[in-house]
Amino acid sequence: MKEFKGRVVVPGTCKAEALVSRNGFNTLASFQMALMFNKAGVPCGDQNNPDINGMPMQGKALCLPITIGSTTGGMILFTACKTGKAPACMLFSQSIDSLAASGAIMGSVWSETSMPVIDRLGEEFLETVKTGDSVTVLNDGIVQIG
82-130: pLDDT as tens digits: 999 999 999 999 999 999 999 999 999 999 888 999 999 999 999 999 9
CATH number at residue 46: 3.50.30.10
Give the pLDDT score at 70: 82
Domain region containing 141: 2-145
Q: Are 90 and 117 in contact (CB under 8 A)?
A: yes
Tell me the percentage of the chain whose pLDDT exceeds 70. 100
Counting the structural domains of the chain, the total is 1
129 φψ region: left (φ > 0), alpha (ψ -120 to 50), beta (else)? beta
Sequence-separated (6 or more) residues with CB below 8 Å from residue 23: 48, 49, 50, 51, 65
Residue 8 has a CB neighbour count (10 Å cut-off) of 17
Residues in contact with 142: Cβ distance below 8 Å, sequence separation at least 6, in sequence order: 3, 4, 5
Q: Report the pLDDT value the prediction gives residue 114, as an integer from 0 to 100.
A: 82
How do residues 3-41 score in pLDDT, each as one tens digit? 999 999 999 999 999 999 999 999 999 999 999 999 999
